[in-house]
Chain A
Amino acid sequence: MSNVVGIIRALNSGVKHLAVKRFTLRYPEQKLKFVGDGFQFNPETGVGIAGLRGRHILFHEHCTGCQLCSVACEGIAEAISMVKVAETWKHNKKAIMPQIDYGKCVFCGLCVDACPFYALYMTNDYELSSFTKSALIYTPAQLAIKPKISQDVEIKIDGRGASHG
């Protein structure tokens, strides 16, 4: 008899959930919201600032070409290599800047931790797919562009359940 009660309770639970709100979000029409502007690091205090670890952004006016980001990445993913750039900056006599290969990058953010000049941060951009592997290598000029990200929904909890709204 307890079997029958168990079966009826299970069916009841299933039917009750027809009234609970759907939890999923309809990507790509709706995209997730993020708090903050991306992962950043403050070399003075040695502590990072919380944010999504997405695509990197390189500030050309701070980068001195010290290669510390490349050295940090050598043991992890070997995704950063230094290339010559055509710009001339006073603080970057060697005129080299990092180029990141997103085919290899694991988005760990230790390169951001390694940069002592506030030059390399990460942004909220995560849609980096492309049709060819060579398009995944982002040159320093491409890395300088601030991405435009649409953010629509986040998790909301109310009486009828949780949903992305």
Chain B
Amino acid sequence: MSTIAPQFRLSRFIASLFDLIFWVLLIFSLVGLPIVFIILFYIKLPIINGQLMTPYLSMTWMADPSRTLPIVKTFIHTTIFRVMVFPGFGFAALLAAATIFVERKFLAKIQLRVGPLYCGKIEGILQLMGDGFKLMSKEIIIPAKADKPIFWMGPLLFVGAAGAFVSLIPVAPGWVVANPNVGLLAVFAIIGFFPIIAVLTAWAANSKWTFIGGLRALHQMVAFEIPLILSLLGVVILSGSLNLSHIVESQQHFWWIVFVPIGAIVFFITIFAELERIPFDLPEAESEIVAGWLTEFSGMMYGLIQLGTYLKLYAFAGLFVVLFLGGWNGPMVWPPFPQDIITHGITIGPVTAKFPGLPLFDQEMLNGTLWFVIKTVGVILLILLPRGVFPRVRMDIALHTGWYKLIGLAFINIFIALGLLYAGVLGPGGLLQ
């Protein structure tokens, strides 16, 4: 029983409420409003129904409902929506959170037990929320001799790089946060950033266990980067472009995994090494080096690292789907939007309600998203399975695999791709165009 909490006094409570209201009003009016105006100065305001939507006018959607849906639709097509909600951070974070929960339940079923059960009425579905609250409420302990600026920046850099990786994955035709023409090269550059973050934070924490963990992370991730790049070159050779959206469009009739399966397998194995998942979770090996380079993180810093790791998981699975499994291509199973709702509106009795501005998303985009999500979930389940089946490998086995076996297999894959191209089977001017 808590005997440290002070007694409750109503006068003190009301005084604290007034205090809070005072500070909220002060900060809102002196700081918040100017910031909002400065931001709105830079956002391009849309033109709907022949009128420029200033911020005040767009707030009148409550009075004139015919402006509601066009405003929402314009907002959906802005860049900031793409970055924050779909297909950027919101979508990825939702999938990442669902992945954490599904992973725990899936592993528990293999191990003949239940997994999270008590948080939330149905089979523990609110467990992640509970974990999030717990991590936010814990004290962040920094070792005394650690290099503080770099140590604080570590998780932020990690989540930032993971977010940058997520932003390159196309989810539906036209729906991608960043679509550079050398998209795949950008992916390689971002992947190459992760070992640097690991070593920086490991060194900054100034502890023996993190030192060993950081070195192991560096060795492992660098060893598996070369097979990763080489295995994807087969797809680049066959599709003729580095742009991820173009690669997906080139898979409209057949998936690349049919022609370069060895590349797909090599890429799949390197996914485990880059994500530090079992069987390659040496940098985090609990029984040998406490927690590797994550040892000194506590509280929300650890929460950020977990978020970054699962964002990376989604991004790698998305990359696998985009490159080998056809991205968003699939038969059209989404029903088209009923045409008469657009022209006539919905009639209930004597009242006819019109909704100008429908449909919000078009059928093609929804169908593409559905297929992408199905395929990504399948790949994520396949990535989760070895955690329940394999032990951890030793460092020399991991390096041996990365430097010898996988590079050999990746080269064989490149030769197969080149052979298919020059035999005239695929590529421009080939049999299956």
What is the interface of chain A, defined by CB distance below 8 A to chain B? 7, 10-11, 13-15, 17-18, 20-24, 26, 131, 161
**Interface contact B112-A17, CB-CB below 8 Å:** yes
CA distance A132 to B327 in the complex (A): 61
**Interface contact A24-B388, CB-CB below 8 Å:** no
Residues of A within 8 A of B117 (CB): 26
Task: State which residues 111-148 of B face A: CB under 8 Å.
Answer: 111-114, 117
Residues of B within 8 A of A15 (CB): 385
CA distance A11 to B383 in the complex (A): 12
B386 at interface by CB-CB < 8 Å = yes
Q: A11-B385, A15-B385 are in contact. Are A24 and B114 (CB under 8 A)?
A: yes
Given contacts A17-B112, A22-B114, A131-B1, 15 further A-B contacts (CB under 8 A): A7-B390, A10-B390, A11-B385, A13-B389, A14-B385, A17-B109, A17-B111, A18-B110, A20-B112, A21-B112, A22-B112, A22-B113, A23-B113, A26-B114, A161-B112
Closest to A16 in B: B110
**Interface contact B388-A14, CB-CB below 8 Å:** yes
| Contact among B109, B386, B390 for A18, CB-based, below 8 A | B109
Residues of A within 8 A of B109 (CB): 17-18, 22
CA distance A134 to B385 in the complex (A): 49
Residues of B within 8 A of A22 (CB): 109, 112-114
* Residue picked from B385, B386, B389, B390, most chain A C-beta under 10 Å: B389
CA distance A161 to B110 in the complex (A): 13
**Interface contact A24-B112, CB-CB below 8 Å:** yes
- The minimal Cβ–Cβ distance linking B110 to chain A, given in whole angstroms, is 5
CA distance A20 to B388 in the complex (A): 15
Residues of A within 8 A of B390 (CB): 7, 10
CA distance A131 to B386 in the complex (A): 43
- Show 6 residue pairs from A and B whose CB-CB distance is below 8 angstroms, ordered by the A residue: A7-B390, A14-B385, A18-B109, A22-B113, A23-B113, A26-B117
Residues of A within 8 A of B1 (CB): 131
CA distance A17 to B385 in the complex (A): 12
**Interface contact B113-A24, CB-CB below 8 Å:** yes
* Residue picked from B112, B385, B388, most chain A C-beta under 10 Å: B112
- The minimal Cβ–Cβ distance linking B33 to chain A, given in whole angstroms, is 51
- The minimal Cβ–Cβ distance linking B279 to chain A, given in whole angstroms, is 10
- The minimal Cβ–Cβ distance linking B362 to chain A, given in whole angstroms, is 38
CA distance A21 to B111 in the complex (A): 10
CA distance A23 to B113 in the complex (A): 6
CA distance A7 to B109 in the complex (A): 20
**Interface contact A11-B112, CB-CB below 8 Å:** no
CA distance A17 to B106 in the complex (A): 11
**Interface contact A14-B112, CB-CB below 8 Å:** no
**Interface contact B114-A17, CB-CB below 8 Å:** no
Closest to A132 in B: B1
- The minimal Cβ–Cβ distance linking B405 to chain A, given in whole angstroms, is 10
Task: State which residues 371-399 of B face A: CB under 8 Å.
Answer: 385-386, 388-390
Residues of B within 8 A of A17 (CB): 109-112
CA distance A22 to B114 in the complex (A): 7
Residues of A within 8 A of B110 (CB): 14, 17-18
Residues of B within 8 A of A11 (CB): 385-386, 389
CA distance A7 to B324 in the complex (A): 23
- The minimal Cβ–Cβ distance linking A92 to chain B, given in whole angstroms, is 38
**For the complex of A and B, 7 pairs with smallest distance between CB atoms:** A14-B389, A23-B112, A24-B113, A10-B389, A17-B110, A14-B388, A14-B110
CA distance A32 to B385 in the complex (A): 32
- The minimal Cβ–Cβ distance linking B272 to chain A, given in whole angstroms, is 12
- The minimal Cβ–Cβ distance linking B413 to chain A, given in whole angstroms, is 17
Residues of B within 8 A of A23 (CB): 112-113
Residues of B within 8 A of A20 (CB): 112
- The minimal Cβ–Cβ distance linking B115 to chain A, given in whole angstroms, is 10
Residues of B within 8 A of A26 (CB): 114, 117
CA distance A26 to B111 in the complex (A): 16
Closest to A161 in B: B112
Residues of B within 8 A of A14 (CB): 110, 385, 388-389
- The minimal Cβ–Cβ distance linking B381 to chain A, given in whole angstroms, is 11
Closest to A162 in B: B112
Residues of A within 8 A of B388 (CB): 14
Residues of A within 8 A of B111 (CB): 17
Residues of B within 8 A of A10 (CB): 389-390
- The minimal Cβ–Cβ distance linking B49 to chain A, given in whole angstroms, is 55
Residues of B within 8 A of A24 (CB): 112-114
